[in-house]
Each structure stands twice: as C-alpha cells, then as structure tokens.
C-alpha cells in the first residue's frame, strides 16, 4: 500500500493537533506524577530515569516493553472499531477470558502436535466472537445498551473461566492454574530469555489489516458511516444493524487473538492462573490505549508500546528507585488517565453532536 493512500485517509491538520495534544498530555502526566512522588519523599527524576532505562535501556527492556504491548494493541483496536461504529463496546475483557479458555480446552485434547496451535486459535477466537456477538445481537436487534450487556458478559465470562480453571482444566501438579499449553502449541519466542514472542508480529499485522478494512473497503466505510450518522447511513443504503453487528464480530476476533496469545505465547505460565491474574485488565487497558491513539488503528500501535513501556519500566522504578508498588501503580494510572482524557472528551462531544 502506498504512503499516499495511507495519508489520504488522514486529516493532516487534525493529526498535527492530536500529536500536540498527546505531547502536552504526556508532559502533564509526568509532571503531576512527579509531584505525587516528590510529596511521597521519592526522587521523581531518578524514578523516571529508572522507568525509561528499564523499558528501553537494553534488549531485555525493549523486549519486555513490546511483549506487554501485544495484547493492548489488539484490545485497543477492538474498542476503536466499536467506537467507529458508534457503540461503546467494553466487552473485550470478557472476550479475552473466553478466548484463553478456548485455547486451554484445545490444549486438553489429544491432537497431533502440529494441530495444537491451529486448534487453540480456532477454539479461542471462535469463543470470543460468540461472546462478542451476544452483545452485538442484543444491541443491533433489540437496542440493548452495549455498556450494560458487555459489563454483564465480562463478569459472566470471568466466573465461567474461573470455574473451568478451578474444577475442570486444573493442573493436577499445580492446581492454582490450568493445564499448560503443550510445547507444540506455543508461539515461538523471538528473543530467548525474554517474554517477547511472535505475538508482536501477529498483533501489528492484525492492527494494520483492521486499518485497511476500516478505511479501504466497503465494509469499513459502512461501519464508519453508521458511527458518524446512522440515520444518514440508513438513507444511503447502509444496513445499519448489520454494520453494528460486524463491528462486534471484528472486535471479538481481535480480543480473541489477545486471549489466545496470552496463554499460548507468554512465558513462563502458558496457562490461566489463579483469579485469571494474567488476563485481568487487558480489555480495559486496551480501552485507554485506544483513547490515547484517538481510536485510530495506526495510532494505537505506538500508544500500546508507550503503555507497555510504562508497565515494563515500573519494575525498574521499584527496584532501582525504591518506589513502592502502590506508588508505581498510581503514577501509571495518572499518566494514562491524563493521556486518555482528551480522546474521551472528544469522543463524547462527537457523540453528543450526533444526538
């Protein structure tokens, strides 16, 4: 695809304004967080040096940053697609859970070694799409508020997966987690000794494919037209209900990829852990990533890497600067919140303008 065709889908003046907004938000986030650390008796400069050194200072740090960005890229793009369709789909969290369960179910079967990975993606992504489509059908056919339905499905999915982890697919040796994904069913590590696996390639490709679908196909045009003005889209011949449902299906497939890859690719567990601790928050963190990236797939890629860097760098803040975990989490939250707020305000204004 030519660069000119990509730039043709972007309002350059708007892009410039968005970049300036993000830069100011980053500076404001670090400033406010620095004041918080200073008030707590910690050196913010030393803490930030530790953060960026841990996130980008060596190959291990960069690998860790990119590994944390993998699921966020996908769940962020899942939310962005829904926003472009005019719906506030926050169901990626539950879809990640269900996809991970699907991968574990596939791993529990007796299959030829070469089929495990295929089965994991097939089972996991299918479960996530089904879970997302439930909310999509309720929204498109019955007008049920998607925030309510996806929140309910998130919690339902959590307890279904936790039940499966505890009573059905538990590891007899380590019952606090599910059975492990067999070696034949794991995604390869890209950098030995780190957590960076082939999922980073899949995530970037999937995100770019979604961009192409949304901005260079009739389906994407219909989804975006539905989000901009469903009444006008309907008069223009767009099947609005179908477009809304398709947005949920695309979002579910992306969240499904994230869920499968978190158990089939990320060491050392290769399983679902107690309380779904290795999955919890991936969907909601993706929402913030999408807002930082202004709900555009191509901007979500660097946004996910930035948030991944905050997560990877938090370890260095604790070890090298002595900042306690609670303070580190607060710093992360403040920076992400300040970054996401402009995108949220802009999105809400656009929705209010439609009404």
pLDDT of residue 13: 61
Residue 169 main-chain phi, psi, to 5 deg? -110, 25
Burial class (CB in 10 A: 0-12, 13-18, 19+), 197: buried
Cβ–Cβ under 8 Å, residues 51 and 313: yes
Distance CA 334, CA 328 (A): 10
Distance CA 100, CA 58 (A): 31
pLDDT of residue 112: 92
pLDDT of residue 339: 79
Long-range contacts of 134-141 (CB under 8 A, 24+ apart): 135/89, 135/91, 135/248, 136/244, 136/245, 136/247, 136/248, 136/249, 136/252, 137/245, 139/87, 139/244, 139/245, 139/248, 140/241, 140/242, 140/244, 140/245, 140/248, 141/241
Q: Count CB atoms within 10 A of the CB of residue 198.
A: 16
Cβ–Cβ under 8 Å, residues 77 and 254: yes
Cβ–Cβ under 8 Å, residues 115 and 219: no
Distance CA 167, CA 149 (A): 27
pLDDT of residue 220: 96
The distance from CA 151 to its chain's CA centroid, rounded to whole angstroms, is: 16
pLDDT of residue 5: 47
Tens place of pLDDT per residue across the chain (355 aa): 544 444 445 555 666 777 788 888 888 888 988 898 898 888 889 989 999 999 999 999 999 999 999 999 999 999 999 999 999 999 999 999 999 999 999 999 999 988 999 999 999 999 999 999 999 999 999 999 999 999 999 999 999 999 999 999 999 999 999 999 999 999 999 999 999 999 999 999 999 999 999 999 999 999 999 999 999 999 999 999 999 999 999 999 999 999 999 999 999 999 999 999 999 999 999 999 998 898 999 999 999 999 999 999 988 888 888 888 888 888 888 888 887 777 677 667 666 665 5
Closest CA to 21 of 341, 353, 313: 341
For the chain, give percent helix, strand, coil, nearest 5: 75, 0, 20
Residues present in the chain in total: 355
The CATH fold of domain 20-354: ABC transporter involved in vitamin B12 uptake, BtuC (1.10.3470)
DSSP per residue over 239-266, as a string? -HHHHHHHHHHHHHHHHHHHHHHHHHTS
| Backbone region of residue 211 per phi and psi (left: phi > 0; alpha: psi in -120 to 50; beta: other values) | alpha
Distance CA 153, CA 138 (A): 12
């Amino acid at each position: 695809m030519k660069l000119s065709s990509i730039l043709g889908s972007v309002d350059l003046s708007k892009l410039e304004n968005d970049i300036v907004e993000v830069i100011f938000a980053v500076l404001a986030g670090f400033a406010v967080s620095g004041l918080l650390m200073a008030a707590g008796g910690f050196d913010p400069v030393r803490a930030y040096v530790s953060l960026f050194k841990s996130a980008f200072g060596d190959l291990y740090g960069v690998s860790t940053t990119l590994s944390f960005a993998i699921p966020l890229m996908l769940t962020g793009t899942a939310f962005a697609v829904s926003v472009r369709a005019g719906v506030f789909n926050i169901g990626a969290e539950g879809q990640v859970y269900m996809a991970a369960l699907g991968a574990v179910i596939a791993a529990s079967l007796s299959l030829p070694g070469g089929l495990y990975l295929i089965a994991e993606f097939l089972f996991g992504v299918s479960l996530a799409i089904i879970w997302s489509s439930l909310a999509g059908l309720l929204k498109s056919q019955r007008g049920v508020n998607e925030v309510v339905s996806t929140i309910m499905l998130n919690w339902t999915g959590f307890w279904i997966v936790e039940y499966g982890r505890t009573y059905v697919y538990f590891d007899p040796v380590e019952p606090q987690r599910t059975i492990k994904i067999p070696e034949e069913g794991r995604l390869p590590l890209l950098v030995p000794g780190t957590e960076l696996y082939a999922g980073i390639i899949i995530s970037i490709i999937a995100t770019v494919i979604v961009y192409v679908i949304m901005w260079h196909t009739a389906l994407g045009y219909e989804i975006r037209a539905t989000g901009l003005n469903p009444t006008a889209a309907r008069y223009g011949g767009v099947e609005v209900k179908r477009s809304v449902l398709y947005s949920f299906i695309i979002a579910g497939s992306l969240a499904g990829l994230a869920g499968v890859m978190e158990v089939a690719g990320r060491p050392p567990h290769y399983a679902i852990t107690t309380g779904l601790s290795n999955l919890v928050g991936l969907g909601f963190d993706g929402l913030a990533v999408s807002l930082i990236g202004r709900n555009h797939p191509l901007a979500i890629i660097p946004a996910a890497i930035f948030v991944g860097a905050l997560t990877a760098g938090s370890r260095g803040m604790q070890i090298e600067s002595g900042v306690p975990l609670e303070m580190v989490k607060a710093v992360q939250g403040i920076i992400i919140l300040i970054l996401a707020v402009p995108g949220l305000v802009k999105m809400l204004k656009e929705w209010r303008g439609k009404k």
